[in-house]
Chain A
Amino acid sequence: MKAWQIVLIFAILVYGALYVYTFHLSPVVKERSVENWVEKEKERKVSFVQSEVCRECHLKVYRTWISGNHSSVECEVCHGYGAEHVKLRTKESVIVEKSRDSCLICHKEIAGRTAIKVVDEGHGSGVICTYCHDPHR
């Protein structure tokens, strides 16, 4: 074997080893791999728990809600995300809005709103909606 052949084989070996290390074996690459990121993405914390979790404590309200007109509207649509409330279980960690505006976000009469019942602004003006309507029904 000639000298240049040995040098070539050696060069290929060194190059190959470096290539494999930098792109496949090095800890930096492994830490940032796709599998690792998918794991990280899975572990992210959830803010919106679903109404089944609300049922655990608020069974009475849950039963009213599930049999009423608003049953397609999840608890957390109006009451805000539940993860904090589940942990703290205080009145401050959940939103209880009784203003007209909070109902009118969905029920105000605007163009293109055909899927639900809407009211114009004059309807019961000055009175809060919950005075006549039960929002859980």
Chain B
Amino acid sequence: MNRRDFLKLILSLPLASVSIASLKSSKGYAMIIDVEKCIGCGRCVIACKIENGVPLELPISRTWIEGYLDGKKIVMNTKDNPFIKIKAKNGFFVPKLCNHCSNAPCVNVCPVSARFHVDGIVLVNKDVCIGCKYCIIACPYGATFVHPEEKVTDKCTFCYHRIRRGLKPACVLVCPTGARKFGELKEGSEVYEILKSKRFSVLKPEAGTNPRVFYLNLDTVVE
């Protein structure tokens, strides 16, 4: 091996590892949210907070609902539901959570490699996280926050402890209208069939993050 070949090999190593990583993350879990079915009851927010030990009163949450009522954005991220007090003529609700991007900015910016992909899910290694909040700045969806008790960053894990036991994620379980669907992205699964047959969109496609949360009937661009 001469010097030129050696340099080529050295340069191609990081590229090779990136392509393998993206291949791996193209399979795995995905969530579909039907915006038309969401009624803004906020059960998912409360269930998520209870399941994952996020304080109910504080305005931080792993999943939250954005209500666009008469063009005004109202966010529900505590246990109180603001939507039922507001009198509006028209509107819609968009539940949001971590998009579990295949090309995740939070994974890329983490200086201590505390964030990583497992089955397409982005997890935070809280033993390693130093709470520098770079990921909060990097995330285009605002899905990451600092846990007030643990003092490290926290975010949606697709309820990894539940899906490993064969249960549904807490927000999917409690959704009374079935607006949230969750499953493995493989041939024959419910999620796969929906994505194959319906028109879906993702949030902020211009960010180039390849999200794993897909939205149905989302005809307006939301922030």
The smallest C-beta distance from B100 to any residue of chain A, in angstroms, reads: 14
Q: A48-B170, A73-B176 are in contact. Are A111 and B161 (CB under 8 A)?
A: no
A111 to chain B, nearest CB (A): 4
A115-B174 in contact (CB<8A): no
Count B interface residues, CB 8 Å. 47
Overall SS of chain B's interface: loop
Contact assessment for A77 and B43 in the assembled complex, using a CB-CB cutoff below 8 Å: yes
Could you say which of A34, A42, A73, A115 contacts B116, with CB atoms under 8 Å apart?
A34
Q: Report chain A residues within 8 Å CB of B81.
A: 105
Cα–Cα, bound, A13→B70 (Å): 69
CB-CB contacts of A32-52 with B at 8 A, as 1s and 0s? Answer: 101011101111111110100
Nearest A residue to B161, CB-CB: A44
Interface residues of B in 150-170 (CB under 8 A from A): 157, 160-162, 164-165, 167-168, 170
Q: Answer whether residue A136 sits at the interface, using C-beta atoms and an 8 A cutoff.
A: no
Any chain A CB within 8 A of the CB of B177? Answer: yes
- A111–B69 touching, CB < 8 Å: yes
Complex interface bits, A76-106 against B, C-beta within 8 A gives 1, otherwise 0: 1100010000000000000000000000111
Q: Is the beta-carbon distance between B47 and A110 smaller than 8 angstroms? A: no
A72 CA / B90 CA spacing, docked (Å):
26
| B174 near A76: Cβ-Cβ < 8 Å | yes
The verdict on A112 contacting B41 (CB below 8 Å), with A41-B157, A46-B162, A74-B174 known, is no
Contact A115 B43 (CB under 8 A): no
Determine if A56 is an interface residue (Cβ-Cβ < 8 Å): no
Question: Known contacts A48-B51, A50-B173, A110-B83: does B179 contact A43 (CB below 8 Å)?
Answer: no
> In the complex, which of the residues A32, A81, A106, A108 contacts B176, with contact meaning CB atoms closer than 8 Å?
A106
Is B37 close to A, CB under 8 A? yes
A105 pairs with B123, CB closer than 8 A:
no
B123 lies within 8 A of A111 (CB): no
Contact B51 A111 (CB under 8 A): no
- The answer on a CB contact under 8 Å between A48 and B89 is no
Give the distance in Å from the alpha carbon of A114 to the alpha carbon of B92 in the complex: 9
Whether B214 is near chain A, meaning CB under 8 Å from some CB there, is: no
Give the docked Cα–Cα distance between A25 and B152 (Å): 25
Q: Is B111 an interface residue (CB 8 A)?
A: no
Interface residues of A in 2-60 (CB under 8 A from B): 31-32, 34, 36-38, 40-48, 50
Docked complex Cα distance between A73 and B89 (Å):
27
**What are 6 A-B residue pairs whose CB atoms fall within 8 Å in the complex?**
A42-B161, A46-B162, A48-B170, A111-B89, A112-B39, A112-B90
In the complex, besides A44-B161, A76-B173, 4 extra interface pairs with C-beta distance below 8 angstroms are A37-B125, A43-B161, A110-B83, A110-B87
